[in-house]
Structure 1
Amino acid sequence: MIVRDYNTAKATRTVGAKGWDSTRLLLKEDGMGFSFHITTIHEGAELNLHYTNHLECVYCISGEGSIEDKATGEVHAIHPGIMYALDKHDDHILRGKTEMVMACTFNPPLTGREVHREDGSYALEADPL
C-alpha cells in the first residue's frame, strides 16, 4: 500500500515551469502503471502542450479556464467538476482564467524528471530530451 500526504509531498515532489507547478504523488517507480499528480495552473497561464508519447486525464478541482483543441479550434470551458482526457495525443492550449487546481494521470507513468520539450511534449524515458 502506498500512502502519501499531499502537504508533505509538496516540499519534496513538486516540479514546475512558467505557468504551472505539479506535485507528483505517484510516479513510474511506484509500479502502478500510471502516474498521479496535483497540478496548479497559474492565473493567466497559456500553455501549448502536445503529449505525443503520453495519454493524460485531468479533473478540475478548483478554478476556471479553458482548453483549446488546436486541430479543430474548439474551446471547452474548464471549471470544478470538468474532466478532459487527451485520448488522441491531442495538441492543445490550456489557459488559466484563474488559478486552477487539477488532478492529473499520465499513461505511461511519468518518472518525475521530465521537462516539456519545445513541441509541448514529454519524452519517453528512453528518448533523448
Structure 2
Amino acid sequence: MRSRSVLAVSAALAALTLALAPAASARGNYLAYASKTKLSNGNLFTQITPQYDGTGYWRMEEWYEKTGGGTINQKLGFNYHGYSYANGWIVQTSGTSRMQSFHDLGFTDCSDVVGWMEVDGQGTYYNAPVGIC
C-alpha cells in the first residue's frame, strides 16, 4: 500500500511540474526572448526586446558567430506575420561575430518572430521562433 501512495504522489508532482512549465518556443530556446541555432560553422542568434521609449514597440537583433569555414557573404533577417525583413549583405570571416539590428518596427503583438540567415550560394538557415509575450 505504501509504495502505491508514493507512486501516486510522484505521478501527481510530475504532472503538476509539466503543467506549470512554460513552452520553450514562447520565449525562445536559448534565453528569455532569444533563440540560438547551432550550424556547422557557427551559431545563429535571434533576440527581441521591448524598447523603453514609451512606444510599446520592440526591437530585434540578429547575429551570427562564425567559428569555422571560409569567408561567406550573408544577409540577416526575420519573418513576422508572413513578411520578411532584412538588411543588406555582409561579408563575414571565421572567428568574427556580425550583428544586424532592427529598431522602431512598430510591432507590439505577441506573434512569433523567426530569424534567418541567407548565405550566398548556400541557402537560408532558420532560427527557432521567438516571442515577446
TM-score range, shorter chain: 0.3 to 0.5
Structure number with larger C-alpha Rg? 2
Please give the TM-score of this superposition, normalised by the length of structure 2.
0.35
Please identify which structure carries the higher helix content: 2
